[in-house]
Amino acid sequence: MTVYSHTRLALYEKCPLAYKYRYIDKIKPAEAFTSIEMFMGSRVHDTLEYVYKQRKKSPMEKITLSEMLSYYDFVWKKNWADDVKVIKENMTANDYLDQGKLILSEYYQTYQPFDRDETLSVEERIDISIEGFKLMGFIDRLSVNKESGHVEIHDYKTSSHLPDVTDLQNDRQLALYQIGIQKKYNFYDKEFDIIYHYLRFRKEIRLQKSEDELENLKKNIVTLIQTIELASWENDFPACVGSACRWCEFSPVCPAFNK
């Protein structure tokens, strides 16, 4: 049975043909690459994961900024690969390395000593079942707020675009994780906050979902998965050419783009 994820559903919404290339044909493009933006974002995530794991393991031990940035340097070098590509003109890999350092330094100044909440887990896998369809995802960080007692689902973004709150109110990912966490831990009596950290902007956007919103989300997900399964059955995956093609790993093999 197919296991869906937010990323998988979002790719179908962005371009059904790209979805087919990745998940059905399982094409590995000869010129596949990792964008430097994605690479930097992953290393920032690695570093925050390290910080909160350390904090959970040794709550009394202070994590210094220099320790945090050394870890970032370490994972940057350890994971660097030849397929990491800088697309923007006049930018170098080192510029992105420095951007990540700035993001982490600002996060450190805002949140150290990282004790506003109690971390329950980092990068926890969550499996969700909705009307027989299976979904999974990884939560950047799950915590309990020490003041409010609310369960918090954190997501860290290194995007250079700051969305409107109304866009985030329609976002599926963290609300989906809330459904999974409620079920997994029987947290139906708890209040939840879903928190988007737009790290480049030092902005934390905190939202709550009503039961009605969660029910609507479930219905929309079921409809979307049914649409995808019908498209698979009919082998009907139209191309959706647009600005996202520039970052699409399948652009070298995509006839619609190359036309």
Query: Residues interacting with ligand SF4, by CB under 6 A?
Result: 15, 17-18, 239-241, 244-245, 248, 250-251, 254, 256-257
Residue 90: both structure tokens together: 């006049």
Q: How far is the CB of 11 from ligand SF4 (least distance, A)?
A: 9
Whichever of 63 and 254 has its CB closer to ligand SF4, that residue is 254
The Cα 60–Cα 68 span in angstroms is 16
DSSP helix/strand/coil, 91: coil
The Cα 101–Cα 111 span in angstroms is 15
Whichever of 15 and 68 has its CB closer to ligand SF4, that residue is 15
Judged on CB neighbours under 10 Å (0-12, 13-18, 19+), 52 is: buried
Whichever of 68 and 254 has its CB closer to ligand SF4, that residue is 254
Q: How far is the CB of 83 from ligand SF4 (least distance, A)?
A: 17
Whichever of 24 and 244 has its CB closer to ligand SF4, that residue is 244
Q: How far is the CB of 93 from ligand SF4 (least distance, A)?
A: 24
Q: How far is the CB of 17 from ligand SF4 (least distance, A)?
A: 4
Do 125 and 168 meet the contact criterion of CB atoms below 8 Å apart? no
The Cα 253–Cα 94 span in angstroms is 30
Tell me which residue of 170, 172, 171 sits closest to 128, measured CA to CA. Answer: 172
